[in-house]
């Protein structure tokens, strides 16, 4: 049965690659990249081995920890969760949970990342052959380390994709994910800072690695090194930690699968009192008010929308990171403009998020203009306070209050311009997105390379249209002349407002023409 | 509602092939056909959700594709195979639909309360639609189709997974609705239901109209089930493969 499942997995991979040449190209590039990294790792380890047991030990521990962390974070945040062997789909087959897990784990192991990790693990032998005892231990520990990677990855994926049974689990994992993303920048900043000072002082960095070698992240990788360095007792303890990690993860995964398969997600309801209409009770009746209220409810409640809003606080953090943590830099003072840009272009294919529920909009016979106005107002209801907040906080931290008008003027100009562009583009485009309630991190079938290019093209258009106020704001920040500040304010608001209105009018006309074909395309997507 | 010469192609496949159909005002019209016959496609084109390649659809004399806003205001539509805005609660969803049609706040409040009561959804009014069962979802979708008091109701598979009690209640509402001058078009796979509820029926197969008229005309003395099988064909008389029989 396990063999059959693995055959299915490779058949699916083969079919996917055969169907789209671009994915084949991507596959081959990834494979070569992995080979390159592996080769460098093997060479590095060979020379590390020549330099002595301690160097090798620390190098392997650091590498192992990064590898494990990558397996945990990668699928959830970067690549999307691999759903080729979806436990929910396998549930109908006569297959025990244990066997299913073995099949999924081996499937994970035989993908490019799995094979690369395994070969990378084996590459440590280029160093360990100098210490026979360590080499013998590595025979056990390398498979153990790789197994921890694969199982940890699947456990996190299982929890993140809501297989943990209750929607609350799923939402909690989602929330943690958001927080991690939010603080990824500062954490990274802190880590590199630590690394720098650590390398300078030497000892501190090694102490961190020593500590890390006791944690589940690197324990398995630390065992051969400890043996090589002649401390068999710590090696034994670390081996026990690693084994316990694998057992614990396996148990957690198994329980989350069992819970998820026996009781599908979406059982616990977040109920409200009947009669509580939320935004529908507060905004005016009519197509515009209805669209406004509905869209605003989604902006505030749907993880897929919230994910886009997260970019607003992230931009200043990234700017800070790239400017080396300089709080007084002009880039940081103006970073709210970047936030406004990314929040503004977020709804460029907003109808995609409606999915086939868009049929409900279409059958009311709503005029395109009313739809555009409602959606723009909803997006602005969230984005305007958010951008205002980011602008005041970043300018406040940088202490350059005199540039606040320029930053605000350019930010709102960019926001309005982006909404104008989105009002047109979202009447023309729909793309496959994660379904409502799915993890926004889940891999979406059907998204193509061209769709990504179109998105970047729209960013360029929005950026060019908003260029005047951005230039004025940059001049204001660089030269400190209030004249540029006020130009940024006036041009930003006036030009932005004009472009937004034009966008809504044009987009409304386009919508009237294209709406039925948008619905047809949405219906053709698998999970919309 | 009058459909004339409707055509829809999906690539090479012709889903609906020059279909003409007249639905008299005040009738309870059943639309039946095997899987893939083009029922949903036809109804989508008739209600302004799918642009036909050729042909016209008019409702009370208004061309659906030339004057969509006026036409759609007269239609209440329960589409099959589309999702709802399921993050909203049932009550919010019905209110939202009423607002989209520009009803006044008082009207919306009154109608929403009535509809939730009729559909036995009073208990679940504050629950997000995503947590509804399949039958409850159908019922809330039907409530949304009714909230603006349309003159024509187009219901694609309205009774699928609805419990018998609710189905009977809904049937009563629909019957009262047609007696008050409203028109109902129902697509269904259940011949018994169509024979019992509808006064008119049309049989569609492979995108063409095979038979249409009053239920008695179409079935011509036979049961609708037998007549349908005769028209559509493809019935096998086998006992299934040997290995599937246990004794």
pLDDT (tens digit, 9 = 90+) per residue, B48-57? 999 999 999 9
Number of folded domains in chain A? Answer: 2
Last residue of a domain, one of A262, A297, A328: A262
Report how far residue B166's alpha carbon sits from residue A385's, in angstroms, rounded to the nearest whole number.
46
pTM of the model: 0.76
Asked if the structure places residue A277 within a domain, the reply is no
**Does residue A126 share a domain with residue A83?**
yes
* Per-residue H/E/C for B73-134: HHEEEECCCCCCCCCCEHHHHHHHHHHHCCCCHHHHHHHHHHHHHHCCCCCCCCCEHHHCCH
Q: Are residues A232 and A335 in the same domain?
A: no
Binning pLDDT at 50, 70 and 90, where does residue B195 land? confident
The label of the residue with tokens 């016209």 reads: B56
Instruction: Give how far the C-alpha of residue A70 lies from the chain's centroid of Cα atoms, to the nearest Å.
Output: 13
Give yes or no: residues A244 and A292 share one domain.
Answer: no
Q: Which residue ranges make up each domain of chain B?
A: 2-84+151-235
Asked whether residue A113 falls in the same domain as residue A254, the answer is: yes
Q: Is residue A413 part of a domain?
A: yes
In chain A, which residues have pLDDT < 70?
20, 23, 75-84, 160-204, 260-275, 324-325, 437-450, 526-528
Closest CB from B48, B85, B104 relative to A363: B48
* The predicted structure's pLDDT at residue A5: 82
With contacts defined as CB-CB under 8 Å, which chain A residues touch B48? 362-363, 365, 516
Task: Indicate whether A274 belongs to any domain.
Answer: no
In a domain, A353, yes or no: yes
Bridge partners (DSSP) of residue B58 are B2, B63
Yes or no: domain B2-84+151-235 corresponds to CATH 3.90.1150.10 = no
**The pLDDT of residue A60:** 87
User: Which chain B residues contact residue A528 at CB under 8 A?
Assistant: 83
Give A364's contacts in chain B (Cβ within 8 Å): 72, 97, 100-101
Same-domain check for residues A39 and A95: yes
Q: DSSP letter for A286, please.
A: S
| Residue A365 within any structural domain of the chain | yes
- Which of B82, B92, B126 faces A271 most closely, judged by CB atoms? B126
List Cβ neighbours of A106 (8 Å cut-off, separation of 6 or more).
A2, A6
Mutation for B interface: A263, A268, A280, most B CBs within 10 A = A280
- Structural contact between residues B228 and B192, judged by C-beta atoms closer than 8 angstroms: no
- Asked if residue A270 belongs to a domain, the reply is no
By residue count, chain B amounts to 247
Region B39-64 average pLDDT: 92
Q: Which residue in the set A269, A289, A517 is minimally distant from B128, CB to CB?
A: A269
A471 and A432 in a common domain: yes
Is A244 domain-assigned? yes
What pLDDT score does A165 carry? 45
Identify whether residues A188 and A149 lie together within a single domain.
yes
- ipTM rounded to 2 decimals: 0.89
Token duo for residue A275: 């009669």
Which three-class secondary structure state does DSSP give residue A364?
coil
Between CA A438 and CA A443 the distance in angstroms is 10
- A197 and A86 in a single domain? The answer is yes
Q: What is the percent of chain B with per-residue pLDDT over 70, rounded to a whole number?
A: 100
pLDDT in tens, A42-85: 888 888 888 888 888 888 888 888 888 888 877 665 555 666 67
Q: A318 with A174, same domain?
A: no
pLDDT for residue B129 is more than 80? yes
**Which of B85, B91, B128 has the CB atom closest to A357's CB atom?**
B85
Decide which of A262, A278, A297 is a domain's last residue: A262
Q: Are B99 and A234 in contact (CB under 8 A)?
A: no
Q: Among A186-190, A365-369, B22-26, B143-147, which stretch is predicted with the lowest mean pLDDT?
A: A186-190
Q: Where do we find the tokens 């109920």?
A: A271
- Residue A4 belongs to what H/E stretch? helix A2-19
For residue A275, being part of any structural domain is answered with: no
CA–CA gap between residue A87 and residue B188 (Å, rounded)? 34
Hey, how many other C-beta atoms are within 10 angstroms of the C-beta on A407? 30
Nearest CA in chain B to A525: B82
> Domain residues for A482?
286-524
CA dist A382 → A277, A385, B161, B206 (Å):
19, 6, 39, 49
């Amino acid at each position: 049965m396990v063999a059959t499942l693995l055959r299915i997995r490779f058949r699916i991979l083969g079919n996917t690659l055969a169907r789209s040449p671009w994915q084949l190209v991507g596959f081959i590039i990834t494979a070569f990249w992995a080979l390159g990294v592996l080769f460098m790792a093997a060479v590095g380890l060979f020379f590390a081995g020549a330099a002595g047991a301690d160097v090798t030990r620390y190098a392997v521990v650091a590498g192992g920890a990064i590898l494990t962390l990558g397996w945990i974070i990668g699928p959830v945040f970067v690549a999307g969760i691999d759903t080729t062997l979806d436990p929910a789909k396998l549930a109908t087959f006569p297959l025990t949970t244990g066997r299913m897990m073995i099949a999924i784990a081996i499937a994970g192991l035989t993908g490019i990342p799995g094979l690369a990790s395994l070969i990378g693990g084996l590459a440590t032998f280029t160093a360990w052959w100098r210490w026979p005892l360590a080499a013998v231990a590595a025979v056990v520990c390398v498979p153990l380390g790789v197994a921890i990677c694969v199982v940890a990855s699947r456990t996190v994926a299982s929890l993140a994709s809501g297989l943990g049974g209750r929607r609350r689990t799923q939402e909690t994992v989602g929330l943690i994910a958001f927080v991690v993303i939010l603080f990824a920048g500062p954490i990274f900043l802190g880590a590199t800072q630590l690394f720098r000072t650590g390398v300078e002082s030497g000892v501190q960095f090694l102490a961190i690695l020593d500590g890390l070698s006791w944690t589940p992240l690197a324990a398995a990788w630390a065992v051969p090194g400890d043996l090589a360095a002649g401390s068999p007792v710590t090696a034994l303890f670390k081996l026990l930690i690693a084994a316990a990690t694998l057992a614990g993860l396996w148990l957690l995964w198994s329980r989350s699968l069992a819970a998820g398969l026996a009781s599908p997600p979406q059982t616990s309801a977040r109920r409200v009192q009947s009669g509580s209409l939320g935004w529908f009770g507060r905004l005016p009746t009519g197509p515009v008010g209805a669209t406004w209220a509905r869209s605003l409810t989604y902006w505030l409640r749907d993880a897929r929308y919230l994910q886009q809003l997260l970019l607003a606080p992230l931009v200043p953090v990234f700017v800070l990171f790239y400017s080396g943590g300089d709080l007084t830099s002009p880039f940081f003072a103006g970073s709210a403009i970047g936030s406004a840009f990314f929040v503004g272009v977020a709804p460029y294919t907003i109808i995609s998020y409606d999915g086939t529920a868009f049929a409900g909009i279409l059958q009311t016979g709503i005029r395109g203009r009313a739809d555009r106005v409602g959606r723009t107002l909803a997006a602005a209801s969230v984005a305007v306070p958010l951008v205002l907040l980011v602008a005041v906080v970043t300018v406040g931290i940088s202490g350059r209050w005199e540039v606040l008008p320029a930053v605000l003027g350019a930010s709102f100009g960019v926001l309005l311009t982006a909404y104008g562009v989105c009002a047109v583009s979202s009447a023309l485009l729909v793309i496959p997105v994660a379904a409502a309630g799915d993890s926004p991190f889940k891999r979406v079938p059907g998204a193509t390379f061209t769709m990504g290019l179109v998105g970047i093209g729209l960013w360029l258009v929005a950026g060019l249209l908003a260029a005047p106020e951005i230039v004025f704001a940059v001049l204001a920040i660089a030269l400190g002349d209030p004249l540029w500040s006020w130009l940024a304010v006036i041009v930003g608001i006036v030009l932005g407002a004009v472009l937004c209105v034009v966008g809504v009018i044009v987009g409304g006309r386009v919508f009237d023409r294209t709406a039925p074909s948008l619905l047809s395309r949405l219906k053709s997507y698998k999970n919309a | 509602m009058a459909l004339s010469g409707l055509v829809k192609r999906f690539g090479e496949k012709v889903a609906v092939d020059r279909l003409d159909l007249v639905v008299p005002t005040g009738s309870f019209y059943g639309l039946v056909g095997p899987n893939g016959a083009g029922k949903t496609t036809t109804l989508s084109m008739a209600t302004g959700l799918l642009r036909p390649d050729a042909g016209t659809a008019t409702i009370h004399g208004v061309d659906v594709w030339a004057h969509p806003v006026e036409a759609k205001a007269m239609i209440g539509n329960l589409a099959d195979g589309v999702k709802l805005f399921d993050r909203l609660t049932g009550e919010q969803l019905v209110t939202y639909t009423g607002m989209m049609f520009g009803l006044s706040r008082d009207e919306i409040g009154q109608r929403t309360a009535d509809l939730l009561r009729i559909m036995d959804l009073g208990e679940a009014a504050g629950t997000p639609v995503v947590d509804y069962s399949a039958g409850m979802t159908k019922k809330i979708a039907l409530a949304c189709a009714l909230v603006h008091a349309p003159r024509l109701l187009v219901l694609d598979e309205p009774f699928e997974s609805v419990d018998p009690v609710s189905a009977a209640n809904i049937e009563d509402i629909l019957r009262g609705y047609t007696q008050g001058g409203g028109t109902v078009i129902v697509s269904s796979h259940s011949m018994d239901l169509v024979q019992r509820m509808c006064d008119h029926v049309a049989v569609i197969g492979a995108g063409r109209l095979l038979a249409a008229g009053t239920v008695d005309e179409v079935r011509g003395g036979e049961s609708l089930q037998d007549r349908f099988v005769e028209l559509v064909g493809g019935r096998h008389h086998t006992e299934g493969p040997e290995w599937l029989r246990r004794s």
